[in-house]
Amino acid sequence: MKKVVTLTLNPALDVATSIGSVAPEIKLRCAAPAFHPGGGGINVSRAIHFLGGQSSAVYAAGGHIGALLKRLLDEEGIDNHPVSSAGITRESLVIYEESTGLQYRFTMPGPALEADEWIACLETLFDLEPAYIVASGSLPQGAPVEIYGEITRYARESGIRVILDTTGDALNRAIGKGVYLLKPNLRELERFAGESLAGEAQIRAAGERLIAEGLAQVMAVSMGAAGALLITSAECLHLRAPIVPIASKVGAGDSMVAGIVLGLARGFALIDAARLGVAAGSAAVMTAGTRLCRGEDAWRLYDEVAVS
């Protein structure tokens, strides 16, 4: 298996709990919380581990929350490389409302990174000599918006493939720099395309246009229960997700990225890596709170992902 390294510049401690009902102005007594390491790249590394693969996680970590993040990753057996930061790592909160089945997600901004801190993250990333880099998640204050683009440019010159899962200016600055694979959801693709997209034909046309403009070589557009479209300059394939019971949608996108990159790192054909991604994303929605995919679910669902 080729080496995969994930980068998370703005990690989080994910706290998940539940309550009967949410109401304003009163004290709400929640169930006992569950704590999990979080943030895009960290979630990808954890999901790769749950799928039976290996990766290394590079992330900024500060204060007592950063220390807890490392301890939790160590307990899960994730190879992880924290880079010390002065700010305290953020927390994110997910609350499940039992009376309605709704889920409330509260995401904090995270601390700012100083220049020497984000530079140390990049040095650690490339010192690990990856074959695949997964750069995922939001950027913290202090990190330049060009950072993912510069990572991609340097990686391309070094023969490293970059899988990018981010939005906004951080993504815009990476256009034309050589991203190998991008995983937008439909709403994100509409923002890139500057238009509403209704139906598979419009999604395909927008994806092919953005690939021609240099956004990425491959685009895996996640479409929730409908599965995903795998788009390259040569073809567009619809991967239909199996029908599964939905417990929580948190972590489905990161699990999908994990399945794709694990498949690629193991030498799968692109379409089969994408099938594993859809299976892992489907498996993730079967788990409650901030839990990611279970390996046994993902590999069982892999054979049920239909391609057309």
Report, as residue numbers or ranges, the catalytic residues.
254
Edge to edge, the sheet with strand 34-38 lists 34-38, 12-19, 90-97, 102-107
Q: In angstroms, rounded to a whole number, what is the distance separating the alpha carbons of residues 207 and 209?
A: 5
**Could you report how far apart the first and last alpha carbons of the chain are, in Å?**
28
Q: Is residue 118 within 8 Å of 142, Cβ to Cβ?
A: yes
Q: Is residue 45 within 8 Å of 58, Cβ to Cβ?
A: no
Residue 95, H or E segment: strand 90-97
Count of CB atoms within 10 A of residue 232's CB? 17
Q: β-strand 228-231 against 236-240: which pairing, if any?
A: antiparallel
Residue 165, H or E segment: strand 161-165
Max Cα–Cα distance, the chain, nearest Å: 57
